[in-house]
């Protein structure tokens, strides 16, 4: 635990003074100091017994390397507050249980503190303390955490290795890199917020609907946009995904007629994994997930009579 920027407790200040005075005495009395018995040195510095030091360290290891001060309860009314040192322990417990999908209740936290750390606290006191420490009690929602597939991890690593291989020691490119992408915009896209007179009200003569959809295709290098590579056309139909308006014919025509003539012959083209970027060559062998049309085309090209039941 770091105390940087915080006021030190009186007990910690006293510990610092005791340690400093003890080391000053060691420096005055002897040139060499044995470091074999750490427990005895600690006991001598703090003015406590060796057994006390060993008992504290044993409890520290038992608590999972966490410092927990157990305050003896006085007879009478139950405590109305909790020791601040227990806050990181409670925070770690609640986070661990939530990540494990286990419901956390006041009773479970009380039982955990009592059984694992010997801290007995009334439920209402713990409830008030958790609210004061920034915890809330509400409906838990499922964490939608997505785990990357191994092939995605390997593909990213391969991509990064290829990029590094195209770098000189000073960071410059060995071969030009061209990045391309596609996106879309609707004609009536605009910000919903505007300035207006209070007496007129927030009434704006904005066209209804989003309007026609336009698809944009372009490429860029470290020097800026590639001249002559811009393609903008109106989509014939509006779907949830603009990729539905792009196909291999449109993309390959743009790639051959607008992109390749405007970039260096040795340039490296970097693009995403869109469906129309991954089209099998007509002479390639279909795989088990190929469509019926691809199977028939491959069989025809290779002069094989396709089965009648395909």
Alpha helices (H) along the chain = 10-29, 38-46, 50-62, 87-99, 106-117, 123-132, 150-165, 248-254, 292-301
Q: What is the pLDDT tens value at each position of the chain, 310 positions in all?
A: 555 666 666 676 777 777 777 777 777 776 677 777 777 878 777 777 888 878 877 777 776 666 655 555 556 555 557 777 888 889 999 988 888 878 899 999 999 988 888 888 888 998 999 988 888 888 877 766 667 788 889 999 999 999 999 999 999 999 999 999 998 888 888 777 777 777 777 777 777 788 888 899 999 999 999 999 999 988 875 544 454 567 888 888 999 999 999 999 999 999 998 888 877 666 667 777 777 877 777 777 766 565 555 5
Determine the pLDDT at residue 240: 45
Q: Which residues pair with 233 in a beta bridge?
A: 215
- CA distances to 4, 97, 138, 146, 170 from 141, in Å: 36, 14, 9, 15, 49
Residue partners of 9: CB distance under 8 A and separation at least 6: none
- Four-point Cα dihedral 244, 250, 255, 256, nearest 10: 160
Q: What's the predicted TM-score (pTM) here?
A: 0.46
Q: Residue 259, Cβ neighbours under 10 Å: how many? A: 21
> Residue 203 in 3-state DSSP?
coil
Please give the Cα distance from 140 to 157 (Å, whole number): 36
Q: How far apart are CA 191 and CA 198, in angstroms?
A: 19
* CB-facing half-sphere around the CA of 72: CA atoms within 13 A: 2
DSSP state of 226: P
Tokens of 289: 């997930």
Alpha-carbon distance of 46 to 260, in angstroms, equals 78
| Gap between the Cα atoms of 186 and 232, Å rounded | 12
Burial of 203 (0-12, 13-18, 19+ CB in 10 A): exposed
Q: List the alpha helices (DSSP H) in 47-105.
A: 50-62, 87-99
CA separation for the pair 204, 229 (Å, rounded): 36
DSSP 208: S
**Per-residue pLDDT tens over the stretch 151-161:** 889 999 999 99
Report the DSSP pairing between strands 177-186 and 268-270.
parallel
Contact between 174 and 147 (Cβ < 8 Å): no
């Amino acid at each position: 635990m770091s105390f940087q920027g915080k006021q030190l407790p009186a007990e910690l200040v006293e510990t610092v003074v005791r340690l400093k005075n003890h080391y000053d005495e060691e420096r005055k009395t002897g040139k060499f100091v044995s470091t074999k018995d750490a427990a005895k040195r600690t006991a001598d510095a703090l003015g406590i017994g060796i057994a006390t030091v060993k008992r504290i360290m044993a409890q520290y290891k038992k608590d999972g390397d966490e410092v927990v001060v157990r305050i003896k309860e006085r007879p009478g009314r139950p405590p109305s507050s909790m020791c601040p040192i227990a806050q990181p322990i409670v925070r770690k417990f609640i986070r661990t249980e939530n990540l494990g999908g286990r419901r956390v209740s006041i009773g479970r936290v009380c039982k955990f503190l009592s059984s694992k750390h010997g801290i007995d606290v009334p439920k209402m006191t713990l409830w008030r303390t958790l609210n004061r420490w920034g915890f809330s009690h509400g409906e838990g929602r499922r964490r939608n955490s997505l785990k990357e597939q191994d092939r995605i991890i390997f593909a990213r690593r391969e991509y990064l290795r290829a990029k590094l291989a195209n770098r000189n020691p000073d960071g410059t490119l060995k071969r030009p890199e061209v990045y391309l992408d596609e996106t879309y915009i609707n004609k009536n896209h605009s910000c919903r917020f505007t300035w207006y007179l209070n007496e007129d009200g927030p009434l704006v003569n904005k066209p209804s609907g989003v309007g026609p959809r336009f698809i944009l295709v372009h490429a860029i290098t470290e020097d800026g946009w590639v001249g002559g590579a811009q393609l903008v056309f109106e989509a014939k139909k509006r779907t949830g995904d603009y990729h539905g308006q792009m196909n291999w014919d449109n993309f390959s025509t743009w790639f051959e007629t607008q992109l390749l003539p405007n970039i260096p012959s040795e340039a490296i083209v970097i693009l995403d994994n869109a469906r129309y970027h991954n089209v099998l060559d007509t002479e390639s062998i279909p795989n088990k997930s190929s469509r019926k049309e691809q199977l028939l085309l491959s069989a025809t090209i290779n002069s094989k009579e396709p089965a009648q039941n395909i």
